[in-house]
Amino acid sequence: MDKVDAMRLFARIVERRSFTQAAQDLELPRSTVTEAVKALEARLKVRLLERTTRQVRPTLDGEAYYQRCLAILAEIEEAEAAFTGATPSGLLRVDVQGTLARHFMLPGLPAFLARYPGIQLRIGEGDRYVDLVQEGVDCVLRVGQPADSRMVGRRIALLEEGTYASPDYLARHGTPQSPDDLAGHHMVGFVSSATGGVLPLECRVGGELRYVDLPHTLSVAGAEMYVGAARLGLGLIQVPRYRVQPDLASGALVEVLADHPPAPSPVYVLYPHSRQLSPRVRAFIDWISAEFARQLPPPPG
């Protein structure tokens, strides 16, 4: 194994905290990985990794070497792409919230993969926090302000939000015209993946946001069930408008409090500070940004 391949392997072990996971990612035998690390440590005359039965961690020397490896590998990839004219290639791991993927990403994927036939795209779907470095994910697509300072965030869209309910629910509880009319109403609770608590409703009043907690007999953690519960008349919900356009068109849901909307939700692509963007990640970010711009008004500012 040459020095560059050894660096690439070592960096993957550090990120995955596992010899086995690194071997699977790089499609190498586990024994090859073990021997390569032994040879690397022997050549550098330092111990790079601390091994336990549960996890692999870099030593102080290993962490320093890892950072140098990242910079060197990024430079090599950039240089080769610039001088060979090669198109981006390799395995690209992306994690995205499911409804975003189906609405904004999936329709354009055939064109993306046709443009970059050397890229193998692996998409994970979920709302949970993802440790990009340790889980080997290249970037994530998330709604909301980034909370992790270790991530670089590029805002690619703002999603207009609204408050919605079924006609049956409004027939039973009345149609609120202002936030002051929400007494006696119920909401479907949405559980925050960040805090584990139920999010309040938001209403813009006089240029400021007002937060309203309403009673809820049902709380959910998934976007599909959240909208489905509203269709069944179980309470008010607040979601991005694109999520309920078919329901508004069919009459299954009705917008209320249109003069007092929630704050729009930003959409970010996030990737680790510790990594320079590889050509394939940059290609993906540029493409998904264009997909959102094509389908939504451009974000202000």
Residues 59 and 198 in one domain: no
Tell the residue number behind the tokens 């500012």, with chain if given.
301
Residues 188 and 200 in one domain: yes
Residue-level pLDDT at 300: 45
Whether residue 118 lies inside any domain: the answer is yes
Whether residue 72 lies inside any domain: the answer is yes
Distance of CA 166 to the CA centre of its chain: 30
Residues 247 and 206 in one domain: yes
Once rounded to an integer, what is the mean pLDDT over residues 9-17?
Answer: 88
Residue-level pLDDT at 128: 60
Residue-level pLDDT at 286: 92
Residues 245 and 273 in one domain: no
- pLDDT surpassing 50 at residue 299: no
What's the domain range around 9? Answer: 3-84
Q: What's the total number of domains in the chain? A: 3
pLDDT, tens digit (0-9, with 9 covering 90-100), for 114-134: 999 989 898 888 666 666 656
Residues 144 and 290 in one domain: yes
pLDDT, tens digit (0-9, with 9 covering 90-100), for 174-200: 999 999 999 999 999 999 877 889 999
Tell the residue number behind the tokens 């937060």, with chain if given.
211
- pLDDT surpassing 90 at residue 101: no
Residues 181 and 59 in one domain: no
Residue-level pLDDT at 193: 75
Residues 276 and 252 in one domain: no
User: Of the given ranges (109-123, 130-144, 149-163, 241-255), which has the lowest mean pLDDT?
Assistant: 130-144
* pLDDT band, residue 81 (cuts 50/70/90): low
Structure tokens at 241: 């408008």
pLDDT, tens digit (0-9, with 9 covering 90-100), for 238-290: 999 999 999 999 999 999 999 999 999 999 988 876 555 678 888 999 999 99
Beta bridge partners of 152: 271
pTM over 0.75: no
> How is the chain split among helix, strand and coil, in percent rounded to 5?
45, 25, 35
Q: Work out the end-to-end distance of the chain between its first and last CA atoms, rounded to an integer number of angstroms.
A: 49
Residue-level pLDDT at 127: 63
Supply the CATH number for residue 70's domain.
1.10.10.10
Residue-level pLDDT at 181: 95
Whether residue 134 lies inside any domain: the answer is yes
Residues 199 and 58 in one domain: no
Which amino acid makes up residue 31? Answer: S
**How many Å apart are CA 185 and CA 182, to the nearest integer?**
5
Whether residue 301 lies inside any domain: the answer is no
- Tell me the three state secondary structure of residue 289: helix
More confident position, 61 or 147? 61
Residues 143 and 285 in one domain: yes
Residue-level pLDDT at 211: 95
What value does the mean pLDDT of the chain take? 87
Whether residue 80 lies inside any domain: the answer is yes
Percent of the chain exceeding pLDDT 70 equals 89
- Tell me the three state secondary structure of residue 60: helix
* pLDDT band, residue 297 (cuts 50/70/90): low
**How many Å apart are CA 224 and CA 45, to the nearest integer?**
55
Whether residue 232 lies inside any domain: the answer is yes
- pLDDT surpassing 60 at residue 298: no
Supply the CATH number for residue 96's domain.
3.40.190.10
Residues 12 and 70 in one domain: yes
**How many Å apart are CA 200 and CA 213, to the nearest integer?**
5
* pLDDT band, residue 227 (cuts 50/70/90): very high
Once rounded to an integer, what is the mean pLDDT over residues 59-67?
Answer: 89
Residues 137 and 169 in one domain: no
Whether residue 300 lies inside any domain: the answer is no
Percent of the chain exceeding pLDDT 90 equals 50
Once rounded to an integer, what is the mean pLDDT over residues 220-243?
Answer: 94
Residue-level pLDDT at 301: 42
